[in-house]
Amino acid sequence: MLDLQSAKNLVRAYFEALNDEPVAAAKRYFAPDAIWRGYHPFHEIHDPVEVAERFWKPLQSGLRRMQRRLDIFMAGDNHLEAGGVWVASMGHLMGLFDASWLNIPHTNKIAMLRYAEFHRVEGDKITDTAMFFDIPHLMAQAGLKLFPSQTGAQLVQPGPMTHTGVMFDTQDSEEGRKTLAAIEFMIEDIRDWKGREELGLEEELPRSWNDDMIWWGPTGIGATYTIERYIKQHSGPFRDGLADRAFNGHIARIAEGEFGGFFGWPNLTLRPSGGFMGMPATDKLSDMRVIDMYRRSGDKLTENWIFIDLLHFWNQQGVDLLSRVPHMRS
């Protein structure tokens, strides 16, 4: 089996090559039929060169002199059915927003695009990728407000409070085991939606989370601090405004050191029952694609960065938010 350090080194080499020429990097580091799962409007692409042409080259033209500013970098063995060694990273893609991208007006100022991604490495190639990037966050920096309300704070979000998330070197495997156990306890604790709701969020959440938890949510929902405010500013509105919730599972779930994460495609299926993100109720079930990244402190979780493809979620409801951009500019 491929060791974690070799997988990390390959992904780091890919990051470096991507700065020079995306198409050449795709050909060198990806299997020809590698899967790439991206945020709306890109979705699933099975050609790494197409990813370079459709996503990376236009983004690099928009965010000129782009830097990858890492906050988390880790690798782990995926114990779920899909298996494999995965390398995950999170941070911001920062550059000078000198040309429009996806019709988002450029600002000629620094802009930071939140992202998180998972790469499956087999041998000397990447064979599977999930990469989510918070497009509404970039829009907010350009002065565009997509959603009618937001319960949390809109921020350019920092990385871990401990500044220990970038793990280029080998980590203590026992620490990773503890982190994965904390994540899996949290997942199992909320899977029985009905039972958990009867318990109440005030009693449920302290089972998995430290009281000073920080939930770094996507633009449209926002960030919130402490269990009390998390209940008021996200978890409560989420459960009140989304009905018929079904958990679809994850493709990859890994941990290293005090950090871990997962993604699904999709993670959840839900029906807006009214009020969530200021949007009306519908009768349509829609999928949520999510990447979660975590930091553990002690035996509980304490920081959580969330990437939800909200453009895809609302597009399934018949709300094409990207099509509104030209009208918002006028």
**Residue that finishes a domain, picked among 141, 163, 195:** 141
Q: In terms of residues, how long is the chain?
A: 330
Average pLDDT rounded to a whole number, residues 14-21: 96
Whether residue 15 lies inside any domain: the answer is yes
**How many distinct helices (H) and strands (E) make up the chain?**
12, 15
**Residue that finishes a domain, picked among 96, 124, 141:** 141
Distance CA 37, CA 115 (A): 13
Average pLDDT rounded to a whole number, residues 158-163: 97
Whether residue 222 lies inside any domain: the answer is yes
Quick count: other Cβ atoms within 10 Å of Cβ 264? 21
Pick the range with the lowest mean pLDDT from 35-44, 70-79, 288-297, 313-322. 313-322
Whether residue 227 lies inside any domain: the answer is yes
Provide the pLDDT for residue 1: 58
What is the total count of domains within the chain?
2
Q: Is the domain of 60 the same as that of 184? A: no
Region of 137 please: left (phi>0), alpha (psi -120 to 50) or beta: alpha
Rg (CA), the chain: 19
> For tokens 């700065």, what's the residue?
19
Between residues 325 and 118, which one has the greater pLDDT?
118
pLDDT band at 278 (very low <50, low <70, confident <90, very high): confident
Whether residue 284 lies inside any domain: the answer is yes
Domain range spanning residue 133?
A: 4-141
Q: Is the domain of 137 the same as that of 193? A: no
Report angle CA 40, 41, 45 to the nearest 5 degrees.
Answer: 90
Provide the pLDDT for residue 192: 61
Provide the pLDDT for residue 216: 98
- Partners of 91 in beta bridges: 70, 115
- Enter the tokens of residue 263: 């993604």
Whether residue 147 lies inside any domain: the answer is no
Q: Which ranges of the chain would DSSP assign to H, the alpha helix? A: 4-20, 22-29, 48-51, 57-62, 135-141, 173-191, 193-199, 201-204, 227-230, 236-241, 310-316, 325-329
Question: Diameter of the chain by CA atoms?
Answer: 55
327, 317 Cβ separation under 8 angstroms: no
Q: Is the domain of 177 the same as that of 129? A: no
Q: Is the domain of 124 the same as that of 11? A: yes
Distance CA 11, CA 120 (A): 10
Q: Inform me whether the pLDDT recorded for 28 exceeds 60.
A: yes
Q: Is the domain of 320 the same as that of 186? A: yes
Provide the pLDDT for residue 185: 95
pLDDT, one tens digit per residue, over 169-213 is: 999 999 999 999 999 999 998 876 555 455 688 988 999 999 999
Between residues 112 and 199, which one has the greater pLDDT?
112
Q: Is the domain of 206 the same as that of 58? A: no
pLDDT, one tens digit per residue, over 69-103 is: 999 999 999 989 999 999 999 999 999 999 999 99
Average pLDDT rounded to a whole number, residues 245-261: 96
CATH of the domain at 186: 3.10.450.50
Whether residue 96 lies inside any domain: the answer is yes
Quick count: other Cβ atoms within 10 Å of Cβ 29? 21
Whether residue 51 lies inside any domain: the answer is yes
84, 120 Cβ separation under 8 angstroms: yes
Q: Is the domain of 181 the same as that of 306? A: yes
- Kindly report the pTM of this predicted structure: 0.95
Q: Is the domain of 69 the same as that of 211? A: no
CA distances from 190 to 152, 208, 236, 237 (A): 22, 10, 13, 16
Q: Inform me whether the pLDDT recorded for 330 exceeds 50.
A: no
- Enter the tokens of residue 233: 């500013």
Q: Is the domain of 129 the same as that of 209? A: no
Nearest CA to 321 among 219, 222, 248? 219
Whether residue 102 lies inside any domain: the answer is yes
Q: Is the domain of 84 the same as that of 222? A: no
